Each structure stands twice: as C-alpha cells, then as structure tokens.
Structure 1
Amino acid sequence: MGCCASAATSAASAAVQLPSSLVSYFPSIEDFLKNSKVCFLELPSAVAYALQVSVAVVGICRVKHRVVAGLTPEKCQSGEPLTGDLEAAFRKGITDLHAKGACVITGDTGFMMWYQAMARESTKLPVILSSLACLPTITCSYSKEEQVAIFTTSVKTLERMEGLLRAECGVSIHDTRYVFVGIDEIPGFESIALGQHAESRTMEAGLCQKAAEVLEQHPKVRAFLLECNELPRYADALRRATGRPVFDAMKLCDFYIDSLLDNPRFGIKDWDDALNKKSAEFDFGQSLSAATQLITKPVLLARDVALQVYAASMQHAVSMMVRSRRQGIKLGVVRLDYHYEPAPGDVDHPGSYAYEVHYQMVPGLTFELCQSGKMTQEVEVELLKAIGALESKGVSVITGDCGFMMWYQELVRTSTRLPVIMSSLATLPAITSSFHKGEQVAIFTANGKSLLPMEELIKAECAVDLKDERYVFVGCEDIPGFEAVALGEKVDVRKVTPGMVKKAQDVLRDHPKVRAFLMECTELPPYSDAVRHATGLPVFDAITACDFYISSHLDNVKMAVDLSNPFWLV
C-alpha cells in the first residue's frame, strides 16, 4: 500500500483495539491488517491515490498492492510498448499479486489498458485495467438514440487508443451513443495530473458543473461512466447533482468480486439474523460522517473508519439493502404469464435481492410466445402497460424473469428512459474482456439449443458472437430434476444441485481453459454458490447483473471519508 500506508498501519496497530464486531472474523488487528483480495498494480508516483483506492474498497474485499518500478503515468499515457526490464517488472507484478492470493487484478490508472493483453497473458485471473470494459454492458441497457457520457483525463489520449479500445472493449470512440468529456480543464485537476491531492470541494463543484453542461448540450445522456480512476470519490456528488446512474472503476471491481462471493440472501442461515441485528456499535454512514469531523486524532480515526467499513461489509450485504431503502432505489421485474413457485435465488423470488423489487405480469406473454420471439399487438399493449406500471412504482432498473425477453429488449428500451437488462448476457462483454483471447467462459442455459435462433439478436444487442470460440454453451435440460423448468413446475433445488455441480466439473474437464461461468437462465442463480465452491471460479448470473446496475444508483458509503485530508498521509 506504499510507505504512507505502512506508517499509518504501524501507528494504528499500536493505538487501536479491534472493534468487537470484527473479533469473530479476525483474532487481532494485526491479523486484519495482514489479511487486507482485489489487487492493484500501482504506479510508483501514485502512492497517495493507491492509499485512497485501498481504503475505498476495503469494505468490499481485501486489497493488496504491487508497485511497478518505472511504470510512470507518462509512460502509461503514451502507450509505448513495455520492453526489457520494465516488461519483466510488469509481468512480475502480475505474478506477485497472483501469489498473494488475488482473485481479481486491476490498476490505478485507466491508461494501463495499453498493457491489458500482456497482463492477461501472465495470469489466469480476470484482469480489468480500465472501467471502459463495462461500457458495452451499460450501452446495451439504453436505446440506440440515448447516450452515455464518459469522463476521462484526456479525450485526445483516448482517441489514440481507438484501435485498442475497439479490440479490447468493443467500443468505438466515434459511436454517437458516447459523449467523451475531458476533465483536464476543471479547477483542481492540475493537482491530480501532478500526482498530488486535489482540493475535494473544488473538484466536486467543477465536475458537477461539467455534468450539468453535458446534460444541457446532450439531453439524451442517461448515464455517466468515470473512466479516470481518480474520479470515483466524486461519483456520489454526480449522482445527486444529475439524478443519473454513475459507473466507475469501483463499481466494476465490485461486479467481479460479487461473482466470487456466496449470495448472502439465500442459502446462508444467518442472513435474517444479520439484517435484524440491532447494534449500537455501527450505524451505516454515521461513523463515516463523524470521521470527517474528528481529524484531531488522525491515525486512530483513520484506522477505526477502515475497520468500521470492513465490519459493515461483512454483515452479509445489509449495507446495500439499507442504502437502497434510504435512497428509494428499486428493481422492476417484468413477469411472464407463467405461474410456478420460484426458489430463493430465482429472479422471481423477492428474497433473491438486497433491495426492494416490484413485479408486473404481462397477460398473454407466455413462455412459448417469448421463446418464439414473436409478439402480438394485444400483448405488446400489455407489455408497455407493465413498463408504465413499474415506472409509476419508482423503480430504477427494469429486468425480466426470462432470458428470452431479450427479443423485446429494444421495444422496452424505447418505451422508457430507465436502463433495461432483459438478459444476463448483457454483462458478457465485460466478463470476456478480462480474460485472454485463448481462455473461455462457460454459459449455462436452460436448453443448449435455445439460444441459436437469437444469434443475430444477441450479437446486435450484447456485442456477443455466439460462434466465438471463447464461449462454451452448456444446456442444463438433462440434469435430473431440472425438467421442472420446462414444465413450469416448482424446481427441487436440493435435487438439482448435485447434477449442476457435476455439469460444471465436466465442463472444466472437457474445456480446461474455462475461467468463469455465466448462468444465462433466470432460474439458475440458486446454484451459483454451489458451482463457485466446487470449481473455485467466478460465477456471474442474473442477480449479479441486477446488482451491478442497481449499485450505479447507490452512494458508496466508503467514499464518505474525505481522503484528501492530510491526516491520511502520516
């Protein structure tokens, strides 16, 4: 974490007692500090920012850093090939992070995207060196006339990366759906460019003003993406100022880490206990707000805030539920005219989410009609009524309870300004870009042949070519007990789980280059935890996709600490 962080850590160890809420997780503060797993490649001149990032994400996962000597911001921005000792140092940085137990590797500047391919060659872990990796996923949720504004350090530098971004992220800088916005002229940014701390309030005001100008000039902008890694701490202010979802490097890291975690909302007994627990020791957001006022005890306070944030995250995603309720963020689910008893983890089970969910059934929209991709005039009217009903309930994101609703993605998007994700396949570009081109993603579907008629649609909507050798499609129709899905009956999850695990293990045996799983069918998330445990690989599904979009609307409680204050640099 750099010499500054080490100094703070040493002082804190001597001064701070481990909060009781963490005792069950760590026997001592030394053990907590030692076990602090996203891992960051770090520029040698970016120690201050690295400290910011490490504290910012400590509430979600443990963090390790590795400085690459000689890899300066100027070098990254230039995109010059790494050769000789610098290439060796970069590759060693990747392998060192892997050896430290990393699950995901990222960097502390988006310009490391120049070296994404090299990084992926050096590890089997997912590598995400730029938040632009999630841009196709964001774009897919809006109509072709709507736009996403991308805040970046330098538009000119991104223009030089045009070919790279197209190859790595499937993003064309000339796509009219993107509005690229340079922030280099915002007051306070000159400090960041020099590797110094920016005055937070000045930067925040400048960014909010810039966002207002963007919305005035481009009224069809529906979301913001902060490409520059120094900007996530201003994301909350932008959300409040614009009323738009804001995506950034932190949200993307959370998405990958989420794929590695058990879903605490089902299958874990103590979820309700954690949710209902009354604790005077920590109230979400309260301690963080107090932290910014009590800077007279710098080391003690800094370490205590970090510990409190970590404790909050360990309480089984209660934070997300509290924040979503406090901010009024809700999910809307379009339902088929299809009646069955959903299992916990199913998209149709409200207990699958850590936020409020509203359902709206569409009369006449049967599974058979949806699978065929056809639409009658009567059902279309009912579908649009359902979208209106969900909007009236104040939902922030709209999804569906069947992946075949992808046939209606464009229809739904043109009838609402809200983001629409009718299939978890929308997240596939972000997943694929994190792995080497010789590695694969296994996609589990209810029926192995069911996606074939959607080939052109999926390519157009999700930028995914089903014929790409990087994808292994796996049908689950032959798993004992899973036939209940096709019959519209209640699924016995306990009966199906062993077959689902065996299917995953067979896939790894036959396709040893598979590095992740994506559960495309909306009735497959109940098995994600079992597959994670059996394979040790990340598992993405409809729930992690919804979490990603919902999180873009939520404040990041960990950013309430003003990291620009000098007490962090003791």
Structure 2
Amino acid sequence: MIDPPYVAGERRFASVRPALKFYGAPIGMLMLDRMPGAGVRPYIPGDAGNATTWSVPIRYKTVPGLNVTKIFGPNGGEATSAVIEAAKELVAEGAQMITSHCGYSIRYHEAVRDALDVPVFLSSLLLVPFLEHMIPGNKALGIIAASKTALTQDMLKAAGLRANFGRKVVVAGLENTPVFGPTWNDGTGDLDVNGCEKDVIDTALALLKERPEVGMLLLECGDLPPYAPSVQRATGLPVFDFTSLVEFFVRGLIRKPWTGFV
C-alpha cells in the first residue's frame, strides 16, 4: 500500500514494512493436492484455479495431503494445521486476503481466520446467508455442489446459515454425473469441458423441475464458474459462485477513481 493517501501534485512514498517475498498480488488461494494419476486436468479460464480468472494478480499454495477424498471425508478436520500453515505462508508472501479453491474448506474457515491478521473467506458457501436473506419469502436458494453427500448441515451452519432455514435452501450434487463426477471428484480421465458443462446445466434444470420455487443458484465448487453463464442462460436465474465472493472483496480492497462525464 502507498502512503500517505494520494493527493494530486504531492510526493508519494512507501514506508518500511516487514519484508515480503512478492508484491502486487493481493489474493492468496489455498489449493487442494491433485489426485494421483498419469497427469492433471487443467484449470480453464473461469476456474478459480486459473490466474486469468481474476481481475488482480493472485498467488496459489497447495495444502500437502489435502485432496478431494480427504476434504470430502469424515477425517478432513485432521488437515486443519496444514491449512493454517499454508495460509500463513501466503500472507508472508504478500497476500492481503486468503481464500480457497474448494467450498468444503468452510470446515477450516474459523481456525484459519483466528490464526491470521488478514481477511479470510475460504468458501463460496459464505455467500449462502447473504443470498438467503435476499431471496423473496416464497423462493429458495439452490446450491449446486460437487458432492451433496459431503455437504453436511454442520458445514452450512459454519457458513452462517440459520438453523431454521428449512425449505429456503436446497442442494443438488454432481457426484453421480457422467463427466463432472469422475473428472473432478475421482480425478480420472481428460477434462471434457462440454461434458462438464452439460452435467452442471442438467443438474440445475433437474433441481428446478423438482423444486420450482428456487429463485437463485450458488455454485459451490471452484471448478464451476466457467459454466455459470451457460447455467444462467438455461435457467434464467441469478447465478453466484466463488468469483462473486472474491471479486466483491477485491473491489473493496482496491478502489479505483471514477471516470466519466458531468
């Protein structure tokens, strides 16, 4: 940060601060360890794991040993200390806020927030209470998750959802889809972008058919934002995801002067 506040024509300077490894990359993102196999599937533009998705530079840090199987399972909490350590490393490297690539990282959110002195928002699920307050009383929020079975009520409560949410929030999972499930949850095969897109659209449409009162959609997984435009076109609903959360904070962290005409 440059200080003091900029005033036209005045000299600016940057005061001495603790040494950082990098400058100008305000987002620090925690990544899951890739599933074992012959190769890895790429993170395409729009994916939280692709740096071109973001409006500002970003730094990534993999949490060793924390893969999809671990974070989906009942013993995922065992990785808390490793998540905290990786987050601290990102802050030491210059990150001004910490997020993650996986919505199920909500299970580490409170512990990481308590351990750091920068803003932390590890899960897109933190948008749930905000969106739930926005929707009309006769509507529900639909969550498209990588795995419905892995998304527990405790996770939703950790995200700040009220205990009596009832029919206001409904979840659909992608774990049994023909392409997305094997590709991202099991880590097998190539990345069939069109196939993943179809799976996400079909899941959203099936949810609307079952629950026509759904009035907004939240895509939980960091691999889902590339398909948000197609889901919106198919459903006609507002669609939110990891990019909605992170870019909201970026716009508060880095304010730019307004330009226009008067």
- TM-score band by shorter chain is 0.7 to 0.9
| 1:507, distance to aligned residue in structure 2 (A) | 2.3
| 1:328, distance to aligned residue in structure 2 (A) | 3.2
1:507 & 1:242 partners in 2: Cα distance?
A: 52
1:477 & 1:531 partners in 2: Cα distance?
A: 18
Q: Letter of the aligned partner of 1:492 in structure 2? A: D
Number of the residue aligned with 2:115: 415
Which of these residues, 126, 129, 132, is aligned with residue 426 of structure 1? 126
Mapping 1:169-188, distance limit 5 Å: none
Mapping 1:12-31, distance limit 5 Å: none
Number of the residue aligned with 2:28: 332
Residues paired across the two proteins, number: 238
| 1:332, distance to aligned residue in structure 2 (A) | 0.6
Number of the residue aligned with 1:484: 183
Which of these residues, 47, 50, 57, is aligned with residue 356 of structure 1? 57
Closer/same/farther in 2, CA of residues 547 and 242 from structure 1, 3 Å limit: farther
Number of the residue aligned with 1:459: 157
Number of the residue aligned with 1:367: 68
Number of the residue aligned with 1:390: 90
2:192 & 2:162 partners in 1: Cα distance?
A: 32
Closer/same/farther in 2, CA of residues 463 and 368 from structure 1, 3 Å limit: same
Number of the residue aligned with 1:194: none
Which of these residues, 118, 121, 141, is aligned with residue 441 of structure 1? 141
Mapping 1:86-125, distance limit 5 Å: none
2:114 & 2:166 partners in 1: Cα distance?
A: 29
Task: Give yes or no for contact 1:343–1:491 (8 Å, CA) kept in 2.
Answer: no
2:80 & 2:175 partners in 1: Cα distance?
A: 30
Q: Letter of the aligned partner of 1:393 in structure 2? A: E
2:144 & 2:32 partners in 1: Cα distance?
A: 21
Q: Higher RCO, 1 or 2 (CA under 8 Å, sep at least 6)?
A: 2
Structure 1: segments with no counterpart, 5+ residues: 1-238, 244-288, 290-326
SS at match of 1:515: strand
Number of the residue aligned with 2:18: none
Task: Give yes or no for contact 1:439–1:513 (8 Å, CA) kept in 2.
Answer: yes
Mapping 1:71-86, distance limit 5 Å: none
SS at match of 1:472: strand
Closer/same/farther in 2, CA of residues 363 and 474 from structure 1, 3 Å limit: same
Number of the residue aligned with 1:552: 252
Q: Letter of the aligned partner of 1:485 in structure 2? A: W
| 1:416, distance to aligned residue in structure 2 (A) | 0.7
- The answer on 1:514 being equivalent to 2:210 is no
Q: Report the TM-score when normalising by structure 1.
A: 0.39
Deviation per CA, 1:11-50: give whole Å up to 9, x if none: xxxxxxxxxxxxxxxxxxxxxxxxxxxxxxxxxxxxxxxx
SS at match of 1:420: coil
Q: Which has a greater percent of helix?
A: 1
Q: Report the TM-score when normalising by structure 2.
A: 0.80
| 1:523, distance to aligned residue in structure 2 (A) | 1.6
Number of the residue aligned with 1:537: 237
Mapping 1:102-251, distance limit 5 Å: none
Number of the residue aligned with 1:343: 44
Closer/same/farther in 2, CA of residues 472 and 374 from structure 1, 3 Å limit: closer
Deviation per CA, 1:435-477: give whole Å up to 9, x if none: 212111110011222112xx13431442344852011211112
- The answer on 1:526 being equivalent to 2:226 is yes
SS at match of 2:167: coil
Task: Give yes or no for contact 2:27–2:59 (8 Å, CA) kept in 1.
Answer: yes
Q: Letter of the aligned partner of 1:475 in structure 2? A: G
1:438 & 1:465 partners in 2: Cα distance?
A: 18
Deviation per CA, 1:366-423: give whole Å up to 9, x if none: 33332235444xx555433312221122212211122221111111111111111111
2:204 & 2:118 partners in 1: Cα distance?
A: 35
Give the aligned CA root-mean-square deviation in angstroms: 2.7
Q: Letter of the aligned partner of 2:29 in structure 1? A: V
Closer/same/farther in 2, CA of residues 499 and 466 from structure 1, 3 Å limit: farther
2:134 & 2:80 partners in 1: Cα distance?
A: 38
Number of the residue aligned with 2:167: 469
Deviation per CA, 1:487-510: give whole Å up to 9, x if none: 124431112222322322232233
